[in-house]
Amino acid sequence: MNAETFTDNISVIQDGKIIIPGEIQKFLGVSDGQSVMFIPDGEEVRIVNSALHSLRKLQEAMKGAAEEAGWKSDDDVVEYIMEMRRNSQ
């Protein structure tokens, strides 16, 4: 998909709603009922898939946490979760 694809005029309709063209929805990986985020970027606004953006932010924030906790494998993480569940009962 090139920049020309994004030059369509998109109108704001009743109650401030917009309709995102299907090709752009597909590009963002969203479908009816899913959320997008509008992120100010200088004089422009970026539209991103809300779930993917949040996941990336979480991954960024958690970078290095496994090493800090001493987890060396997925099994270590599973064991930690199981222990937390046992302790919460």
Each residue's pLDDT tens digit, 20-60: 888 889 999 999 899 999 999 999 999 999 999 999 999 99
Side-chain half-sphere exposure of 11, counting CA atoms within 13 A: 2
Domain count, the chain: 1
**What is the pTM assigned to this prediction?**
0.62
What's residue 3's pLDDT?
58
pLDDT of residue 43: 94
Assign 41 to helix, strand or coil: strand
- Which pair of tokens denotes residue 20? 């995102």
pLDDT at position 66 over 90 = no
The count of other CB atoms within 10 Å of the CB of residue 49 is 18
pLDDT at 7 over 90: no
Domain that holds residue 39: 3-88
